[in-house]
Structure 1
Amino acid sequence: MKVPTKPWTLLYKIQQEVLPDTRHFLNEWRKKATKIPNDELRKQALSSIKEKAFHCEGGAVYGLLAGNECRKIIRFIVAYQTISDYLDNLCDRSTSLEERDFRMLHQSMHHALTPGKQPENYYQYRNDQDDGGYLSSLVLTCQDVLKDLPGFQNAQEAMHQLAGYYCDLQVFKHVEKNKRVELLENWFAGHKHEVPAMTWYEFSACAGSTLGIFCFAAYASHGLKIEEVNLLKNGYFPWVQGLHIMLDYFIDQKEDREEDDLNFIFCYENEEKMVQRIKYFKEKAEESIRSLPDWKFHQLINKGLIAIYLADKKVQEDKKLKRTAKRFIRFGGMPTLFFYLNSWLYRQGQA
């Protein structure tokens, strides 16, 4: 199967191949979530699938890099992203603010990347316990896909490194409000030598994406040489992942203000500085993508990501955000405008 390199062929394949499989797997997890015995865990599992399905739909596009193994990789991506979204809900609207609780929950994301590792009681440090095997099933599904991929052994360490960044971020940003920034600053101090010059909040954004992990899984499906691993990792981390999460925070500003949640966009001294830095991240992301195999596909995904976020109803319903979003679309160029219009029409059809 040929990897799409044009906006219209990519959209066609997403509609015909990616979305039907993604929705099939999501529906299976939704059914399983309805049977969770504990009220709070069931509520958060169902809410994460309902509110964040577009994370799975966006991530599953990486299945197109896997050729005949596309469906298998989509199965992994949906399961792994569902863990991520579920845990984000459990930590965001948490009945706990304990670091050890959040760290234990996120062990599941490392175990999901470790075929043969038996799931543990990830809820051991919280009151809500019985999920009827929901989280363990997600972990085992990820393991089941990864264990058969010919290139997984070469990719595994890099996938764990990206998962490590992600899990640390989720732990530190969800503890007690007065501890968050200091923990994140100290964490960044230990890692700043690994990335180009940036702030602690920009590094945190780079850590908060699962795209690099999905990219590795897709390429591992048809063998992955050791020398290609660093190429892929540097292609996605930090710039592509950073751009992805900056946009995520950009569209969440209103609700994060209302909920008093930490939003990295609020850390910029003014809007102009924020727009400049997001533009810079977008330029650096395009530069790093150029070194990747199938770079035209990755470039389309990057432009499509900008469009998907900017077509979100949170942006469309907020005049100030919409005005800034138009600037982002302009520096994304014609493919971004094309994806933006398609995303907007798609969301109108869902409304």
Structure 2
Amino acid sequence: MSISIPNGSLHLVGLSYSKIFPQVHQELAYWKKRAAEIPDEELKRQALSSIQTKTFHCEGGSVYAILARKRWKEAVRFIVAYQTISDYLDNLCDRSTSLDPVDFSFLHQSMTDALTPGHVIKNYYKYRIEQEDNGYLVELVTTCQKTLSHIDRYEEIQPFLQKLASLYIDLQVHKHVKKEERVPRLKNWFQNYSSSWPDLSWYEFSACAGSTLGIFALVSYGLDGRASSQLAEKIFESYFPYMQGLHILLDYYIDQQEDEEEGDLNFCSYYPDELVMEKRFLYFIKETEERLRSLPDRRFHRLVAKGLVGMYLADKKVKQIKHANRMIPKLLNEAGLKAKFFYVNTKLYHKVRPVMSLLNYTPVSGQITKSP
């Protein structure tokens, strides 16, 4: 059944809760089952953890499946599988047993292969101790490949998908090596791009590379039969760097306390002070708004951008952040009334969701029905 692309906040929220999120949870239930079957204890632990703690990544990314209209379920399948690869590998690089950039690079070839239907599958664990995952990562890759193989004129959008994926992979490799090597590597990497984006700092550019939103938008348009090099170029230029940068900077913003406690790299910590950070966040909101104007379905894209601002700023972790009470109203005012709507809606969702989870209930088709 086809779904329509929403122009308003209520329509977007309604579609997300009634159709998109239940489908996401259905897909994740399968991958959680597969992760539980992994024989290697370390790989199993990281696979299960990535699903349990990062479900909201798949929920948020899968909103783009709406752009696929009648093929939205296929889009959700791809988005959940690809985002699960991303989250799983992030755990393996961030929380596991290796600091080897060669290992990280080879692991992330799975994300390149996932965007290349028919590409030869590799042993992505070649350079690490843990090896046996019972085909978990390979199945995630082939699930993505199968979905993409059904996109007409896929070859027109693939170069832009690979470009976005390449930026993401480079970031993941550089940011997870030994602590003393991370910043020098990221600064050196940025030198290759600084002339193209002179208004960005090295840490802002790194944040822009860390989002998968452009990939999800492009694949969903492709599934809807709108794959073209012209649209792909528009998506790339509209999403990179500012929309993707806004996404990841907000993500790092709410994780500041957690990352400090864990000793993890956080790009927000490199701003000279809170006032500079606030000014730059406002700049990213403005640039995102401006660059999305040229896209088809621009109201949808702008809704998602405003949703990002509202949803991230409504996160419970914001309470731990110094000066958040001063910065949040300014960001919400800049993003507008729709961002404030998503802010309030997300606050409510956080209150209701634990109760629903406790009762084992899931929202389906606008009603509350008991999960099987």
Distance in 2, matches of 1:345 and 1:316, equals 16
- Paired position in structure 2 for 1:326: 329
Task: Name the CA distance, whole Å, in 1 between partners of 2:221 and 2:344.
Answer: 30
Distance 1:113 1:249 in 2: 26
Unaligned runs of 5+ in 2: 355-372
On the 8 A contact 1:315/1:325 being kept in 2, the answer is no
Match runs of 1:107-146 below 5 Å: 107-146=109-148
Structure 1 position 256 matched with structure 2 position 262: no
In structure 1, how many angstroms separate the alpha carbons of the residues matched to 2:105 and 2:67? 32
Aligned to 1:265: 268
Which of 154, 157, 161 is the aligned partner of 2:156?
154
Contact preservation (8 Å) 1:151, 1:219? no
Provide structure 1 residue ranges, at least 5 long, that are not aligned to the other structure: none
Query: Which residue does 2:368 correspond to in 1?
Result: none
Deviation (angstroms), 1:151? 3.9
Q: In the alignment, residue 256 of structure 1 is paired with which amino acid?
A: D
Checking the alignment, whether the CA contact within 8 Å between 1:152 and 1:223 is kept in structure 2 is: no
Q: 1:340: which partner in 2?
A: 343
- Which AA in structure 2 matches 1:260? G
Contact 1:256 1:262 survives alignment (8 Å): yes
Shift of the alpha carbon at 1:119?
Answer: 1.7
Pairing of 1:81-230 with structure 2 (within 5 A):
81-221=83-223, 222-230=225-233
- In structure 1, the residue matched to 2:289 is 286
Are the counterparts in 2 of residues 150 and 224 from structure 1 also a CA contact under 8 Å? yes
3-state SS of the aligned residue for 1:191?
Answer: coil
Alpha-carbon distance between aligned partners in 1 of 2:347 and 2:322, rounded to the nearest angstrom: 16
1:22 is aligned, of 21, 24, 27, to 24
Aligned-partner Cα distance in 2 for 1:145–1:323: 45
Give the aligned length. Answer: 351
What is the CA-CA distance between 1:170 and the residue it aligns to? Answer: 0.3
Partners of 2:325 and 2:26 in 1: CA distance: 33
Match of 1:79 in 2: 81
The amino acid that maps onto 1:216 is: L
Q: Percent identity?
A: 49
Structure 1 position 195, deviation (Å): 2.7
Q: Which moved more, 1:137-146 or 1:318-327?
A: 318-327
1:227-257 superposed Cα distances (whole Å, 9 cap, x missing partner): 2221111010000000000000000000111
| CA drift at 1:226 | 2.0
* Residue in structure 2 matching 1:43, options 42, 45, 67: 45
Give the Cα separation in 2 of the matches to 1:320 and 1:34. 41
- Write out per-residue CA displacement over residues 53-108 of structure 1, whole angstroms, 9 at most, x where no aligned residue: 00000000000001101000010000000000001111111211011000011000
Aligned mates of 2:204, 2:295 — CA distance in 1: 23
Given the two structures, how large is their TM-score scaled by the length of structure 2?
0.92
TM-score, length basis structure 1 = 0.98
SS of corresponding position for 2:191: helix
CA distance in structure 2 between the aligned counterparts of 1:225 and 1:263, rounded to whole angstroms? 36
* CA deviation after TM superposition for structure 1 residue 324, in Å: 2.6
Secondary structure, aligned partner of 1:209: coil
Per-residue Cα deviation, 1:37-67 (whole angstroms, up to 9, x for no partner): 0111101111110110000000000000011
Q: Which residue in 2 is equivalent to 1:246?
A: 249
Q: Structure 1 residue runs of 4+, over 3 Å off?
A: 316-323
2:6 aligned to 4, 7, 27, which one? 4
TM-aligned CA distance change 1:272 to 1:263, over 3 Å? same
SS at match of 2:307: helix
SS in 2 for 1:198: coil
Corresponding residue SS for 2:211: coil
Root-mean-square deviation (Å) = 1.2
